[in-house]
Amino acid sequence: MAKKTVAALKTGKGKDYTKVITAVKSPKTGAYTFKELIAHNDHIKEAVEAAKEAVTDNQ
């Protein structure tokens, strides 16, 4: 199943999107959680900046 998903992303319009993953450290426990976002390749920098702002807003 995973191979079909990966193969589908490499053909067609799936190539135009990227998954942005940011790590967020919890101030209480020190454990890391991950925030995932799928953004168009033209808007990667904006997506990373938005993810950083969401992290700082949650703390």
What is the 3-state composition of the chain as percent helix, strand, coil, each rounded to the nearest 5? 55, 30, 15
13/16 Cα distance (integer angstroms): 6
- Residues 6 or more apart in contact with residue 38 via CB below 8 angstroms: 17, 18, 19, 20
pLDDT of 46? 87
45-56: per-residue pLDDT in tens? 888 888 777 766
For the segment 19-27, the average pLDDT, to the nearest whole number, is: 83
* Average pLDDT score over residue span 14-29: 82
Instruction: Give the model's confidence band at 2: pLDDT under 50 very low, under 70 low, under 90 confident, else very high.
Output: very low
Minimal CA–CA distance to 38: which of 13, 4, 11?
13
Q: What is the pTM of this model?
A: 0.54
The runs of H, that is alpha helices, within the chain are 2-10, 44-58
